[in-house]
Amino acid sequence: MDRRHFIASTSALGVLPLAAQAQARPQDVLVVANEFGPNSLDIHTVGANRPSYGVSWLVYDRLMTYGKRTLPDGRVAYDRNKLEPELAESWQMAPDGMSVTFKLRKNAKFHDGTPVTAKDVKWSMDRAVSVGGFPTFQMAAGSLEKPEQFEVVDDHTFRVKFIRKDKLSMNDLAVVVPCVFNSELVKKNATPQDPWGLAWTRNNTAGGGAFKVEAWRPGQEIVYVRFDDWKSGPLPKLRRIVQRDVPNAGNRRALLLKGDIDITYDLPPKDFAELSKEGGAIKVSATPIENSMFYLGMNTTKPPFNNPKVRQAVAYVLPYDKIYDNALYGRAAKLYGGTGPVKTIAWPQATAYATDVAKAKALLAEAGFPNGFETTLSFDLGGATIGEPMAVLVQEALGSIGIKAQINKIPGATWRAALLKKDMPMLINRFGGWLDYPEYFFFWCYHGQNAVFNTMSYQNPKLDKMITNARFAESKPIYDSSVREMIQLAFDEVPRIPIAQPTMDVAMQKNVNGYMYWFHLQPDYRQLSKA
């Protein structure tokens, strides 16, 4: 797609070419361009991608949200330690800490005008813990595991009963998954084979959030319009958001520089590095992504990656510096070249691995593969601006010790579904944990009991116990010891090789204000405005 074909949404701005839009665009309309958009309008559906998180965040309410904090350099980010009202105007923890009671806003409505009640909240929570896959595992990360935990007290009072004391339970109620659906609307479109209406909500919304989906053309654009009757927060200043899919990074940058779009958060690191130095009409916000890493994973159920020495050999042959310089352009923190045993609970932190071809060859020979072997290396084509150069560099390095890796490019729309199959021998991926705790990351990525993002199918009961000990530690010394032990074991066994902690970069016109870093890495359009 080039600029001549990138035209305005008919619902928002008629059929003006973008060059004309730059002058005609109202101040309460935001135009965004990214590499790809949502593949579902419902985060509960199987394989919903990261842009789908952004849909849920805008279109649906949750009981609570997070407050914000201002960083030393003036940037603004969410505050994991500060919960604030959203659909619930207040809440009260029981004296024994084993339940919490929420008072819902009595004037809250869904987009079709239906009042929001505690019955909708319970149905939505029941759905989240019952549909399976990512949503259910996310709820379980905060010990929210079964419908019996959720109780309707009256139309505007809702209670959550805890099955154990878990410091993540309240935080988990404020992430993207436990969103509140118009239960009667979804049930009208459910079937006996699909009792939760997932097929319908993949392409339709049933929310009461600050924005409604006005139009969605998969692979092209999604258009949001403000819900003027929203009561769960300050009414957004933006009236409409037009979010376009523009696959070519060069076109996205050109559109930004021309003023034809207001914001993009999906450019290659090279472009962000250059834009951040140029100044002018564009400003760049850069925030290290908490609890996140680029990694190379190896499926431990597939020979020869079931052999730890093979995995260690790969860890010693990776061209870390080349990846950092030529794929990430320095817009990340190095997670390699650390010094010796794990001494802190910081996460992510650098491993002791560094490029050492001789050591890699020796380990491969010890494992019984002196001449290497053949395999496939997969990456997400939706993130090709980083994934492709990274894959080529890894392929070249593996070849130096006899491992012939064929590169497998998987379309972004199907990447999440491919991950969930857990059948790729080697893969390059980026994962970030929403709740910024090491044990949360490990619960998702290393726990052997069907952890959704344990893409390496790694099984180690000893590590599982360490993760559980950290999650429910009764004292800080126990917690710190468990976290250090689990990090060290993960580095020794190395089913996934940490490469770098990425940066969340956002480029925008200087008249765009209010940007705030969020754990789900999607801009919250509710907070943005244009001067």
What's 441-470 look like in SS3? Answer: HHHHHCCCCCCCCCCCCCCCHHHHHHHHHH
pLDDT tens column, 348-380: 999 999 999 999 999 999 999 999 999 999 999
DSSP secondary structure code for residue 191 in this structure: B
- What is the band of 172 on the pLDDT scale with cuts at 50, 70, 90? very high
Average pLDDT over residues 34-50: 92
Angle between helices 269-278 and 249-258 (to 10 degrees): 20
CATH topology of domain 292-503: Dipeptide-binding Protein; domain 3 (3.10.105)
- What is the band of 15 on the pLDDT scale with cuts at 50, 70, 90? very low
- In the prediction, which pLDDT does 376 show? 98
- In the prediction, which pLDDT does 416 show? 85
Average pLDDT over residues 250-258: 95
- In the prediction, which pLDDT does 450 show? 66
Cβ atoms of 198 and 204 within 8 Å: the answer is no
Residue 219 clears pLDDT 80, i.e. is over it: yes
Alpha helices in 81-132 (DSSP H): 118-130
- In this structure, the strands spanning 263-264 and 426-432 are unpaired
Query: Which residue is it, tokens 């839009």?
Result: 21
pLDDT tens column, 89-139: 999 999 999 999 999 999 999 999 999 999 999 999 999 999 998 999 999
- In the prediction, which pLDDT does 12 show? 40
Query: Which residue is it, tokens 């549909």?
Result: 131
Query: Which residue is it, tokens 């817009």?
Result: 331
Give CA 490 to chain center in angstroms: 22
- What is the band of 420 on the pLDDT scale with cuts at 50, 70, 90? confident
- What is the band of 269 on the pLDDT scale with cuts at 50, 70, 90? very high
- In the prediction, which pLDDT does 395 show? 98
Angle between helices 357-366 and 308-317 (to 10 degrees): 170
Average pLDDT over residues 12-39: 71
Each as own residue / partner, the long-range contacts of residues 100-104 (CB below 8 Å, 24 or more positions apart, any chain) are 100/159, 100/160, 100/162, 100/170, 101/153, 101/157, 101/158, 101/159, 102/63, 102/157, 102/158, 102/159, 102/160, 103/156, 103/157, 104/156, 104/157, 104/158
Whole-angstrom distance, CA of residue 70 vs CA of residue 344 = 26
Whole-angstrom distance, CA of residue 51 vs CA of residue 32 = 12
Other beta carbons within 10 Å of 267: 24
Residue 306 clears pLDDT 50, i.e. is over it: yes
pLDDT tens column, 93-103: 999 999 999 99
Whole-angstrom distance, CA of residue 176 vs CA of residue 86 = 13
User: Was domain 78-183 assigned CATH 3.90.76.10?
Assistant: yes
CA-based Rg of the chain, rounded to a whole angstrom?
23
- In the prediction, which pLDDT does 25 show? 81
- What is the band of 318 on the pLDDT scale with cuts at 50, 70, 90? very high
Cβ atoms of 87 and 63 within 8 Å: the answer is yes
Annotated domain spans of the chain: 1-60+209-281+510-531, 78-183, 292-503
What integer best gives the mean pLDDT of the chain? 93
Supply 498's token pair: 């940490």
Sequence-distant (≥ 6) Cβ neighbours of residue 1 within 8 angstroms: 246, 247, 248, 251
Give the helix/strand (H/E) hosting 292: strand 292-298
Share of the chain above pLDDT 90, in %: 87
Alpha helices in 71-223 (DSSP H): 118-130, 133-140, 169-172, 183-188, 198-201
CATH topology of domain 1-60+209-281+510-531: D-Maltodextrin-Binding Protein; domain 2 (3.40.190)
- What is the band of 88 on the pLDDT scale with cuts at 50, 70, 90? very high
- In the prediction, which pLDDT does 447 show? 93
Supply 115's token pair: 């009042």
Query: Which residue is it, tokens 């990074």?
Result: 249
* Polymer length of the chain: 531
Cβ atoms of 161 and 151 within 8 Å: the answer is yes
Average pLDDT over residues 154-182: 97
- In the prediction, which pLDDT does 449 show? 77
The model carries a pTM of: 0.86
- What is the band of 24 on the pLDDT scale with cuts at 50, 70, 90? low
- In the prediction, which pLDDT does 340 show? 84
Whole-angstrom distance, CA of residue 225 vs CA of residue 153 = 34
Sequence-distant (≥ 6) Cβ neighbours of residue 318 within 8 angstroms: 296, 336, 353, 355, 394, 397, 497, 499
Residue 452 clears pLDDT 90, i.e. is over it: no
Average pLDDT over residues 403-415: 93
Whole-angstrom distance, CA of residue 125 vs CA of residue 179 = 8
Whole-angstrom distance, CA of residue 202 vs CA of residue 319 = 40
Residue 69 clears pLDDT 60, i.e. is over it: yes
CA nearest to 167, candidates 103, 85, 83: 83
Average pLDDT over residues 214-234: 97
Question: For residue 297, what are the β-bridge partners?
Answer: 427, 496
pLDDT tens column, 184-197: 999 999 999 999 99
Average pLDDT over residues 76-92: 97
- What is the band of 9 on the pLDDT scale with cuts at 50, 70, 90? very low
- In the prediction, which pLDDT does 8 show? 37
